Chains A and B, each alone.
Chain A
Amino acid sequence: MKAYWHLVRAQLLLFVRNKNTMIWSFFLPVFMMLALGTFMNDGGDQISLKIGVVDADRTAASAAWKKEIAGFQGVQLEPGSESALMKQLKTGDIDLIVKIKQGFQEAFEAKEPYSGAKMVAIYADPGNQTVTQMATTVVNQAVERFNKERVDYQPVVETEIKPVHSRNLSYMDFLVPGILSLMIMSNNLNGVAATIASWRERGILRRLQGTPLTSSTFIAGQMTARILLNAFQAIVVLLVAYFLFDISVFGSWSTLILLIFLGTLTFMSMGFIVASLSKTPESASPIAGLISFPMIFVGGIFFPIRDLPGILQPLVQAIPIGHLTDALRGVMNDGLTLGQLILPVTVLLAWAVGSFVIAALTFRWDVK
């Protein structure tokens, strides 16, 4: 027991005194949040649409309609000539062009209703579907409201939208759990593989082996120190997220800590396995990198897993990173309980136990 505490203490001292660890563990995630947060969070939670307007009618009605559409939150109108706006649409400076055709006012004031004249045209880039859809919806709604006003329409039945998320979610809400997940993976998988391989090469492990210290005490000490490091790192990330981006943990902290624990155990064991199986100490780090790098993309860290191509889905569902990210997101964003997270937690647990057993079986003190 004495040996265990001393090993934990020594490892924590090594973390604090090693510049690389500090940079990778604390500076990098905070930097990533700041960088991505500033780029991606433009305009906050609202939709932001730039709509170019070509007004060929130039009447009171067309002006009123323009006002109507400009009244939507996040919509910015960009007046101009048709050809100039076309250019802007192609370069992506504006999202959509609306053309109010000549005769707009006349059509409204016509005596017979339901003429169905197509007085508003939308030009959109089909390559940018999400934006096009949003913009089309906005324009359609503006047209519809105008129509309704014209006929003095009174709704009989109305719909009400109930959000699934209990609050508005921004990209930062999505990103922060992703960064936590990424840090847990890279810290442990890459960190352990590199450290253990270099300790083995320098004979530190063999020196430890020359004492009555058992390998289980050694591994337990390593794990404890790394779990503490990851927990502390998570706190730093969450504090930065809270104070700079107003993102808080919605679910229970104990579930969050359990997930950090499971993630650390899983990826740390993988780090041990890589360190044990790599033939030379120099190859341990690249092998760990080779495993973790693709995981960044298929792990749902920067964008949702459902955006990945269908062929990858079975693979994505089998590996632990996506489940860790999902579960962290579930707890932080939606306040899901352990019971609601049973699938990702079970998969993670299976990975944690499996990789730990393999790590324990393959562990060796010396160079082959």
Chain B
Amino acid sequence: MIFVKNLVKKYGSQMVVKGISFMVREKQIFGLLGPNGAGKTTTMEMMEGLRTPDGGSIEIAGIDAVKNRSELKRIIGVQLQSTSLFEHLTVRESLQLYGSFYRKTRPLKEILQAFDLTEKEKARVKHLSGGQRQRLAIAIAVIHDPRVIFLDEPTTGLDPQARRRLWDIVFQLRDEGRTVILSTHYMEEAEVLCDQVGIMSQGKIIDIDSPAGLIRGLSSKSRIEFVLPDHRLDQELTRLKGVTDVVREENEVVSLHTDHLSRTLHDLVPWASDRSVPLMGLRTRSATLEDVFLQKTGKRLSGE
């Protein structure tokens, strides 16, 4: 469906996309995951025909996205940041305006219903909540029934409830048979939503796989975390059974990476009682995409 090869983009002398390649299958949700400034938006903008690459090729549904932009724009839908709407137009007027740019559009009623905006039809954009704005931005992007949809950080700035609601909409888009490309810096979002995730850092794609596949590729899949103010004890922890790594987290929390959760725990409890370590805040968890990112780049995805 989508083939990106050796894509390069420079701003002045600075290279922001450094020769990336990937492909996306039809009717899948593909996510570009990475921190701000990794080159996700620039990559998406080149795929949307908004920026000209300095090298490489993009093919979307058989269309050369670099050379044949006008044809490309008929089959893709684009959602940018929520500020890219006219504040003084109503929901209905916004949909009508964007609908007028295409030959064929879906019925307004159907769109309003699908995006839960029927009640807000006559409300001005400036009076909408963050979640409603995002839903409208996506509604506008699918008004012409596009085959491919680009969502740029669709849930940034939304509260958890609005975020979950938007995830349902993204699933719905895929279930209608569309291919969805989205960018995000929330690892949880990528994990829940995406069929395939490309991890981006500093203009490169470090790894591409399904979220489960990426986590499976980690050297250890479980984490044991507890409060341990005394850093001198970290060295001893590496000798516990199954531990592959000991990492310091924030707030005096230490994290043990292990592939054998039960064996490590079995060893940990007597070690702690010997040294009068109270194991405050003890918890175990499975590895996430965050851990994948940390292992691949040595940096955290969030937090900074």
Contact = CB atoms under 8 A, between A and B. Distances in A.
Contacts of A6: 96-97, 100
A111 interface: no
Interface string A1-35: 01101110110011001100000000000000000
Interface stretch (B75-83, B212-220, B263-271): B75-83
Nearest to A212: B73
Interface residues on A, range: 20 to 34
B50 A366 contact: yes
Contacts of B86: 10, 14, 204
B88 A18 contact: yes
A212 B84 contact: no
A212 to B, nearest CB: 5
B89 A14 contact: yes
Contacts of B96: 6
A197 to B, nearest CB: 14
A211 B102 contact: yes
B93 A213 contact: no
B83 A212 contact: no
Interface centre among B89, B98, B102, B124 (most CB of A within 10 A): B98
A148 interface: no
B48 interface: yes
Interface string A184-220: 0000000000000000001110111111110000000
A207 B78 CA distance: 7
A6 B49 CA distance: 24
B178 to A, nearest CB: 16
Given A206-B84, A207-B78, A210-B50, A2 B100 contact: yes
Contact of B101 (A3, A14, A202, A203): A3
A205 to B, nearest CB: 8
Interface string A90-130: 00000000000000000000000000000000000000000
Given A203-B81, A204-B85, A210-B73, A7 B97 contact: yes
Interface in A300-337: none
B241 interface: no
B140 to A, nearest CB: 8
Contacts of A213: 101
A207 B82 CA distance: 10
Given A6-B100, A211-B73, A206 B93 contact: no
Contact of B70 (A7, A212, A365): A212
Given A206-B80, A210-B49, 9 more contacts: A3-B101, A13-B89, A13-B93, A18-B88, A203-B81, A204-B84, A204-B85, A211-B98, A212-B70
15 contacts: A9-B97, A10-B97, A14-B88, A14-B89, A206-B45, A206-B50, A206-B80, A207-B78, A210-B48, A210-B80, A211-B102, A212-B73, A212-B101, A213-B101, A366-B51
Interface of A: 2-3, 5-7, 9-10, 13-14, 17-18, 202-204, 206-213, 365-366
